[in-house]
Structure 1
Amino acid sequence: MQIRDLPYSDPGEPDVRSGPRFLYWLARNQLGGQLKALGWGLLQQCGIAGLPLTVGLAVQAAVDRSGDRLAFAAALNVLLGVAIAVGETMLHRTAVTNWITAAARVQQLLARKTAELGSVLTRRVAAGEVVAVSTGDVEKIGWFVEALSRFAASAGALVVICVGLLIYQPALGVVVAIALPVLALAVLPLLPRATKRADLQRERAGRATELASDTVAGLRVLRGIGGEDLFLGRYREASQEVRRAAVHSARMWSLISAVQVLLPGLLLITVVLYGARLALDGRIAVGELVTVYSAVTLMLFPLQHFEEIAMAYSFSRPSAKRAARVLALQRVTDPAGTDTGVPSGPRAALPSGDLYDPATGLLAPQGRFTAVVCGDPDAAGRLADRLGGHAAEPGGLPSVLLGSVALDGLALERARTAVLVQDKDPVLLSGTLRELLDVPSSGQVEAADALAAACCEDVLEALTQASVHHDGDPMDTRITERGRSLSGGQRQRLALARSLVVDPEVLVLDEPTSAVDSHTEAKVAEGIKRLRAGRTTVVFTSSPLLLDLAERIVFVHEGEVTSVGVHRELVRTDARYRAVVTRETDEEQAQALEKVEESA
């Protein structure tokens, strides 16, 4: 795989059983690139390993006053220099390619999982962790994949140096061969503590990132209540914890680096002292001593890659663990993962009929406006996701049915085309209003009609004033990231207009008017009912204005449907329903229930 071939047509199915297994899966899928990098790395490292031999030959030739051998040593040195230059250049190219392609594979996997889970993802995983996985963690994982081939080449070069020294000068080669495993493994006892400190640093950095993202997202509200200083203080405290953890971690890594310098230095001193004694005794020549000394000195370079691979693994292992945890989240589907009894084809071939949830007993008849009242907002959100087939993991519950077709058995794209769920906190991507409303749709609803139904007149006026074009067309005005230039109610209504433009077979709205005033809410409710006439619409709400316009109301209490009817009737007959929609206190609700029981 080359960088020009990205993105992958299929990034594959990762092994997400653990972080190390995920790293092994990545490295295995990069096998071709790893072997190329290993080959170029061996060329570079073996070229470096051969330099002491040429130096020793040159010194000995000078001592013996042999011009032919000196010329041979010089030619050999030039040849090794070319090999080192070519190997270094190509190793860098292939290693960086491995890094980028591995990071791209992980990013594609994360993007695919995000598209599969939708809003459920941030309910299962903190937003700060998702940001950390998709940015810093991807880079660290790529670093490990890239460092793997360099480490393998360095290990191979060290073996070559040891074997060569044993053959060239056994007396000193034995000393080096005995010391080499000690040098390579000396840092192992320090790695668990270093890894633990690095994990603590990343954990605190993740918390700081999450706090920062939440603060930026709620900056408008914080300014309104004067809470900026409070959250700024919290972020300062979190950032200081990150700094302290980073310094604590750096101390351990500096100790590991010191060990990597100290032990080879002691070996070098030992070789010089022992070699000098052998040379004085006449057991080795001066050129041989210089060769062994140079070989031990150059061993410092490949030994550095042992420290690098240790750091790369220590930093990438928790990153891979987090990535694997996100990638392990699953949408409930049939074992085969394919459509069950529904042919592929155009939009008209999508399943249709009543929307029914066997787990709660909720029924939304086809073509009608159904409102669902649920006392627990979180339970309402989970139920809305279930109605769209967006459940994040198997829970032993039967699938929601659209007509006679199980949504969990549909391919994800078809399920979301048939049933569109608008979350209570919808996201607006940056771009113009025209681009925001340019979404796959039935083509039956015009953007102007959707904007009118969602009561977006003030939004259009604000965008017209902010337009940089001479004609002041609001459709060409840019909306900032997540729509932060707009108020909460304006963002909510634009998201509603986008959903209305799609015109799905079934539209599920979770609290679509929670951020607007009563007057606007009434107009939005009328607009939804008018524009969605003849289409199945399910609205999760406790607003009397919306409930009064609904054709059918379903009251869900503790995970089960307990009442079905119309708003005014349920207010009179169901005390629990009345308590939810009229915001009765617990005492008032208890008194109402006592009256109901007495009358019964």
Structure 2
Amino acid sequence: MSLRQLPFQDPGVPDVRSGFRFLLWLEKRQLRGQLTAAAWGTLLMASIALFPAAVGLAVQAVVDHSGRRLALSGGLMLALGGLSALGDTMLHRTAVTNWITAAARVQQLLSRKTVELGSVLTRQVAAGEIVTVGAGDVEKIGWFVEAFARFTSAFVATIGIAVALAFYQPELGLMVAAAIPVLALAVLPLLPAATKRADVQREKAGKATELASDTVAGLRVLRGIGGEELFLDRYRKASQEVRTAAVHSARMWALISAVQVVLPGLLLVGVAWYGAVLALDGRISVGELVTVYGTVAFLMFPLRHFEEIAMAWSFSRPSAKRAARVLALVRGVEPDAAPSLPSAPSAGVSPSGDLYDPETGLLAPAGRLTAVVCGDPDAAGRLADRLGGHSPDRVAGQSSVLLGGTALDELPLAAARAAVLVQDKDPVLLSGTLHELLDVPSSGNVSSTDALTAAQCGDVLQALAQASVDDSGDPMRTRITERGRSLSGGQRQRLALARSLVADPEALVLDEPTSAVDSHTEARIARGLKEIRADRTTVVFTSSPLLLDRCDLVVFIADGSVAATGTHHELLRGDQRYRAVVTRETEEPAGVAAAVVTGGVTAAVPAAVSAEGPSVVPSGAAENTRIEESA
């Protein structure tokens, strides 16, 4: 295929049952390109292999003093030189095209899988392994696809030369034919050890990459606690382990290369010696000796491709295995294992209504702001993912989350993403301008200005305006660094919230959207969120009283199911476990609900008083508010 056709309209559905099957599927998808490259490679090797025959004819013509045959030999050499130049050029072009198209196909498959899984991907596969697959493994898989076509042409050329020599000069030809299998298979005993060493190198390289990415991601925290040198020493150690493993692996491949040079060299010496004996005895002519010698010397060229395909297979096999493992991941149960659920709406119709999770019994009424309080943060994160249709841990028989009675698992991926948006507790800001950050698929009903206002991003806009490099003072044109590292945690969190609000999905799920902001900003965000999401289904996972007080409904999850529902004040008065989670209370006497701070003196008061009294200081606000006793 032409590179102009990239990217593929449809990269296909890969066979991910194993790394070998994935490579086989990839070869089948590019069969036409492989056959074309093999044909050009065969032309190249045939023209080079015939060149010694032309030289032998020229030598014999000189010996026989035949000018006509010498001229014919010269013309034949010119023709073979032109064919070899054409074959070499076209082989390189088609082989590189095969490499690029194979790598592009794998990258598209990985990108599609990444989009499909979303944030669930890094919970199933380590970040370092994803980086390794997306960068190094794609290149190695493409290398195998490219090398396989050259190996095919080299194999055909080697067999053809052995048969031709056996007919052309039986005594020397049979000797060469018997030696070729030994030359081709001599490196096989060394391949397992070389493959093992290469696997160790890749494993250590993957761990070093993961350590580097984790260190860079947490650099701000490391600087705060003075841990840069500790992690730098760890990375130095990991890097040295990778270097040692690479040298250990290179030694084995150097040995394989040496074997591929020494054995054909010994064959060449043997052919020269035995051929000279035959020539002295008059059993072969000088021209025949030159032809056989030149042809055997040429054999070193295709035999090099045997070594290359062995290396390519050794490196691409684990790479294909890792790629197949990532591509085999699914975001929920398999379609044939899914339980019987209501039919999905027709294409183009977005579902709406109550958001319901049958596993926990959580019901978020349509058009209302619902808060979910869960004592276990990990369980809250899993529930948030499940509400968005991401349920990697769900097994067959468990029901999917329903939106307006429609199972999210039965919706097309694009429709499910448009209907429900989940913002996790650690949202990622990609590098780019603020305008690009907020340029996301949306309903068009919420402007970026309104979203930024609701998310209380005024100070963020001022900071971005001051950091503008084009002197325009326009914060929308200011570039945000990768993952928003130039911003504070609270600023990143508010920009991510604004991005989610601009999208304006039918149902919005926010996991701890204000955990990194102060109490005054959090109170304003709570008010802005309720206003901008009026008549839209919104679920907020939080234990902050400032947010809980603004919600229409609060659902308390305990032991994996709904334990209580009501308003924030109702649950404070009526549920001891809820009160313990929200106010961070430890065990206390019955009837005592909170601490009232008056003039710097703390006193226990009955629950009926503390639940409504304005002097109650919840833990979320108490972290940011201090009442000091006046002098």
Q: TM bucket by the smaller chain?
A: over 0.9
Indicate the residue corresponding to 1:342 in structure 2: 345
The AA in structure 2 aligned to 1:113 is: K
Rate the CA distance shift 1:320–1:584 in 2: closer, same or farther, 3 A: farther
Where structure 1 has 5 or more consecutive residues not aligned to the other structure, the ranges are: 596-600
Indicate the residue corresponding to 2:448 in structure 1: 447
Q: Is the 8 A contact 1:330 1:393 kept in 2?
A: no
Deviations 1:348-403 (A, max 9, x none): x3111111111111111111111112222222212111111122365222111111
- Identify the range of structure 1 (151-160 vs 269-278) with the bigger mean alpha-carbon deviation: 269-278
Indicate the residue corresponding to 2:15 in structure 1: 15
Per residue, is there more helix in 1 or in 2? Answer: 1
Indicate the residue corresponding to 1:388 in structure 2: 388
C-alpha RMSD of the superposition: 1.9
- Identify the range of structure 1 (63-72 vs 356-365) with the bigger mean alpha-carbon deviation: 63-72
Q: Is the 8 A contact 2:456 2:521 kept in 1?
A: yes
How far apart in 2 are the matches of 1:340 and 1:29? 35
Q: Is the 8 A contact 1:129 1:206 kept in 2?
A: yes
Give the TM-score normalised by structure 2.
Answer: 0.90
Q: Residue 565 of structure 1: CA displacement?
A: 2.3
Give the TM-score normalised by structure 1.
Answer: 0.95
How far apart in 1 are the matches of 2:581 and 2:185? 66
Structure number with the bigger relative contact order (C-alpha 8 A, sep ≥ 6) is 1
Q: Residue 479 of structure 1: CA displacement?
A: 1.2
How far apart in 1 are the matches of 2:377 and 2:292? 74
How far apart in 2 are the matches of 1:369 and 1:190? 66
Indicate the residue corresponding to 1:302 in structure 2: 302
| SS of residue in 1 equivalent to 2:331 | coil
Q: Is 1:561–2:562 an aligned residue pair?
A: yes
Indicate the residue corresponding to 2:612 in structure 1: none
Q: Is the 8 A contact 2:120 2:331 kept in 1?
A: no
- Identify the range of structure 1 (175-184 vs 477-486) with the bigger mean alpha-carbon deviation: 477-486
Indicate the residue corresponding to 1:434 in structure 2: 435
Deviations 1:130-150 (A, max 9, x none): 111111111111110011100
Q: Is the 8 A contact 1:340 1:410 kept in 2?
A: no
| SS of residue in 1 equivalent to 2:500 | helix
Indicate the residue corresponding to 2:528 in structure 1: 527
How far apart in 2 are the matches of 1:578 and 1:231? 40
How far apart in 2 are the matches of 1:165 and 1:46? 13
- Identify the range of structure 1 (480-489 vs 9-18) with the bigger mean alpha-carbon deviation: 480-489
Indicate the residue corresponding to 1:581 in structure 2: 582
Q: Is the 8 A contact 1:95 1:146 kept in 2?
A: yes
| SS of residue in 1 equivalent to 2:549 | helix
Q: Residue 438 of structure 1: CA displacement?
A: 1.8
Q: Residue 62 of structure 1: CA displacement?
A: 1.6
Indicate the residue corresponding to 1:186 in structure 2: 186
Deviations 1:74-107 (A, max 9, x none): 1111111111000000000000000001111111
| SS of residue in 1 equivalent to 2:461 | helix
The AA in structure 2 aligned to 1:430 is: S
Rate the CA distance shift 1:63–1:558 in 2: closer, same or farther, 3 A: farther
Q: Is the 8 A contact 1:331 1:394 kept in 2?
A: no
| SS of residue in 2 equivalent to 1:291 | helix
Q: Residue 530 of structure 1: CA displacement?
A: 1.9
Q: Is the 8 A contact 2:464 2:475 kept in 1?
A: yes
How far apart in 1 are the matches of 2:278 and 2:385? 79
- Identify the range of structure 1 (305-314 vs 349-358) with the bigger mean alpha-carbon deviation: 349-358
Deviations 1:14-66 (A, max 9, x none): 01111111111111100110011011000000011111111211222222222
Q: Residue 572 of structure 1: CA displacement?
A: 4.0
Deviations 1:141-196 (A, max 9, x none): 11100111000000111011101100110001111111100100111111111111
Indicate the residue corresponding to 1:598 in structure 2: none
Q: Residue 289 of structure 1: CA displacement?
A: 1.4
Q: Is the 8 A contact 2:342 2:406 kept in 1?
A: no
Indicate the residue corresponding to 2:241 in structure 1: 241
Q: Is the 8 A contact 2:344 2:407 kept in 1?
A: no
Indicate the residue corresponding to 1:503 in structure 2: 504
Indicate the residue corresponding to 1:319 in structure 2: 319
The AA in structure 1 aligned to 2:516 is: A
Q: Is the 8 A contact 1:551 1:566 kept in 2?
A: yes
Q: Residue 341 of structure 1: CA displacement?
A: 3.3
Q: Residue 592 of structure 1: CA displacement?
A: 7.8
| SS of residue in 2 equivalent to 1:455 | coil
- Identify the range of structure 1 (446-455 vs 27-36) with the bigger mean alpha-carbon deviation: 446-455
The AA in structure 1 aligned to 2:502 is: V
Q: Residue 584 of structure 1: CA displacement?
A: 4.5
Q: Residue 417 of structure 1: CA displacement?
A: 0.8
Rate the CA distance shift 1:43–1:393 in 2: closer, same or farther, 3 A: farther
Q: Is the 8 A contact 1:488 1:515 kept in 2?
A: yes
Indicate the residue corresponding to 1:146 in structure 2: 146
| SS of residue in 2 equivalent to 1:549 | coil
Indicate the residue corresponding to 2:375 in structure 1: 375
The AA in structure 2 aligned to 1:124 is: Q
Indicate the residue corresponding to 2:261 in structure 1: 261
Where structure 2 has 5 or more consecutive residues not aligned to the other structure, the ranges are: 594-631
Q: Is 1:104–2:104 an aligned residue pair?
A: yes
| SS of residue in 1 equivalent to 2:244 | helix
How far apart in 2 are the matches of 1:205 and 1:339? 48
Indicate the residue corresponding to 2:271 in structure 1: 271
Deviations 1:553-591 (A, max 9, x none): 222223222222233333344343333333356xx39x9
Indicate the residue corresponding to 2:48 in structure 1: 48
The AA in structure 1 aligned to 2:23 is: L
Indicate the residue corresponding to 1:25 in structure 2: 25
Rate the CA distance shift 1:48–1:449 in 2: closer, same or farther, 3 A: same
The AA in structure 2 aligned to 1:80 is: L
| SS of residue in 2 equivalent to 1:119 | helix
Q: Is 1:461–2:462 an aligned residue pair?
A: yes
Deviations 1:504-541 (A, max 9, x none): 11100011112222222222122212211221110111
How far apart in 2 are the matches of 1:393 and 1:178? 58
How far apart in 1 are the matches of 2:163 and 2:335? 58
Indicate the residue corresponding to 2:600 in structure 1: none
The AA in structure 1 aligned to 2:476 is: M
Q: Residue 336 of structure 1: CA displacement?
A: 11
The AA in structure 1 aligned to 2:298 is: L
Indicate the residue corresponding to 1:493 in structure 2: 494
The AA in structure 1 aligned to 2:192 is: P
Rate the CA distance shift 1:393–1:269 in 2: closer, same or farther, 3 A: farther
The AA in structure 2 aligned to 1:425 is: D
The percentage of aligned residue pairs carrying the same residue is: 72
